[in-house]
A and B are shown apart, each in its own frame.
Chain A
Amino acid sequence: MELRTEPFVLNMGPQHPSTHGVFRMRVTYDGEVVMDLEPMFGYLHRGIEKLAETRTYTQFIPLTDRLAYLSSMTNNHAYVLAVEKLAGITVPERAEYIRVIMDEMMRISSHLMAVGFFLNDLGCSVFTPLLYMYREREKLLDLFEMVCGQRLTYNYMRIGGVSHDLPEEFMPALKQFVAEMPSYIEEYEALLAENEILLARTKGVGILPRELAINASVSGPVLRASGVKWDIRKVDPYSVYDRFEFDIPTGEVGDNYDRYRVRIMEMQQSLRILRQAIEQLPEGEVCAKVPQFLRPPKGEAYGRIEGPQGELGFYIVSDNSIAPYRLHIRPPTLINLTALRDMIRGWKLADAIATFGSIDICLGEVDR
């Protein structure tokens, strides 16, 4: 008797623990092997770009918190940077340093979550590694709470600077964190770097070749893991990033392991920047004088930063009124998903979940 097999279609998500929110993949399987996949978006679409057209420039800042909600500070920064470029506003030096400190803290916090959830997706003894990461992230959230009173949606940066100066208790706590964090990273390394399960599940899996990464506009740690030395903080420095010494970690083959390693190494580089920023932090004003109802001159500007997930850009068109005429967000995580199909096809379902986790997406930003 001849046995007949045929491919079948299965929907993963939108309600699925490994899709990090409400992401849906329509996957065609041959047995356990992924033959084809189509990502489906839009379950969290709130029309943030449309909302911007009915708000003043300052009123839009809280909405940027609700893009990638695990990296609210960097979202704030990208937006205010674009508006400052559009309106030609100079930011006081102290505010620039505070922004860099916030950005790098945010990067560490976001990478902790990325690595933690990635390990979770691999099935590394459910939740244990993630809880280690939560432990350190908690300290960062305490620091964020000190400066702005919020733990997730900060709304801290303003056009022309930041909303408050750092409180007295902030610096000692940050210094303590920067001193302690390397030992925690060493702890992860001891537990994970040589871990046989991790290596078996990630080495050579979900390879994203260098050429495809560039062609598909992939950015951030995913791009660097494919061996491209491209970091906007270095190639197009904004704020005061040109004053710090740091390296750009890159991977070699662009597999899941490289993406994991790049994030760990980037945390170490962020700590390096934090140490220098703490040392150089000047005294002075933290916000330039900016009218409450800002009317940037007619024109357009594209401001971009290196967010934890990649190039986060804001393209703003002004018609000299108090609200943006058009505001477009370049979402790094949506564009990083362009190459998802190529990375997953031919692998087993379990590897597909791991590869998807290694991209580190946030649906608030994918769908906007």
Chain B
Amino acid sequence: MTKPLAGHQVGEQIRNQVPDAVIEASEEWVLIKPESLLAVANFLKTTPGLEFDYLNCITGVDYLDYLEVVYHLTSMRHNHGIVLKARCSRENAEVPSLVGLWRGADLQEREIYDLLGITFVGHPNLKRIFMWQGFEGHPLRRDYL
């Protein structure tokens, strides 16, 4: 079984390494400040014992008050997983891109940019993927139609 690591334990490890990065940690997930996301992701990927080498899935969710990006990570070596979250405002929706760490983020980040309008800062080729260039709005936002 892929062991889901407890969010508050991993959150504690992150706190020791990257101070002020963790906003909240629950049993299932860790909520990270967007500006520290890159440092935290790098820590999770390279620290022995954690080694999250595989990025399963990125999801964007619109909660009307804010937008949330959810990262599901797995370590193939240790067969354990963790869920990371980052929140940003709807008006100034910006989150750092993780393409530099996990290439698998490439198309998924483009999809979220296209459908939810979150800009992934540092993405090498951030443009619409499903909708055409020039399309207005972001269909997966809750207030779109």
Question: Are the chains A and B members of one assembly?
Answer: yes
Docked complex Cα distance between A214 and B131 (Å)? 28
Residues A326 and B62 in contact in the complex (CB < 8 Å), given A49-B140, A215-B53, A315-B57: yes
Docked complex Cα distance between A54 and B110 (Å)? 24
Residues 320-360 of A contacting B (Cβ, < 8 Å): 325-326, 328, 330, 334-335, 337-339
B42 lies within 8 A of chain A by Cβ = no
Number of residues from B at the complex interface, CB < 8 A: 33
Minimum CB distance partner of A232 in chain B:
B2
Residues of chain B with a CB closer than 8 A to A49's CB: 115, 140
Report yes or no: B57 in contact with A326, Cβ–Cβ below 8 A.
no
Number of residues from A at the complex interface, CB < 8 A: 36
Residues of chain A with a CB closer than 8 A to B56's CB: 217, 302, 304, 311, 313, 330
Docked complex Cα distance between A335 and B72 (Å)? 14
Docked complex Cα distance between A41 and B128 (Å)? 9
Report yes or no: B131 in contact with A42, Cβ–Cβ below 8 A.
yes
Docked complex Cα distance between A228 and B76 (Å)? 9
Minimum CB distance partner of A42 in chain B:
B130
Residues of chain A with a CB closer than 8 A to B79's CB: 235-236
Docked complex Cα distance between A338 and B124 (Å)? 13
Docked complex Cα distance between A330 and B72 (Å)? 11
A197 lies within 8 A of chain B by Cβ = no
Would you list 28 pairs from A and B whose C-beta atoms are within 8 A, ordered by A residue? A42-B128, A42-B131, A45-B130, A45-B131, A47-B139, A53-B142, A215-B103, A216-B102, A216-B106, A217-B102, A217-B103, A217-B104, A230-B76, A235-B1, A236-B1, A302-B56, A304-B56, A313-B56, A313-B72, A315-B70, A315-B72, A317-B61, A326-B59, A326-B61, A328-B59, A335-B104, A339-B103, A368-B130
Residues of chain B touching chain A, judged by Cβ–Cβ distance below 8 Å, are: 1-2, 53-57, 59-62, 70, 72, 76, 79, 83, 102-108, 111, 115, 128-132, 139-140, 142
Seed contacts A42-B128, A235-B2, A235-B79; 14 additional CB < 8 Å A-B pairs: A41-B129, A42-B129, A42-B130, A42-B131, A215-B103, A217-B55, A217-B56, A235-B1, A236-B1, A315-B72, A317-B61, A326-B140, A335-B104, A338-B103
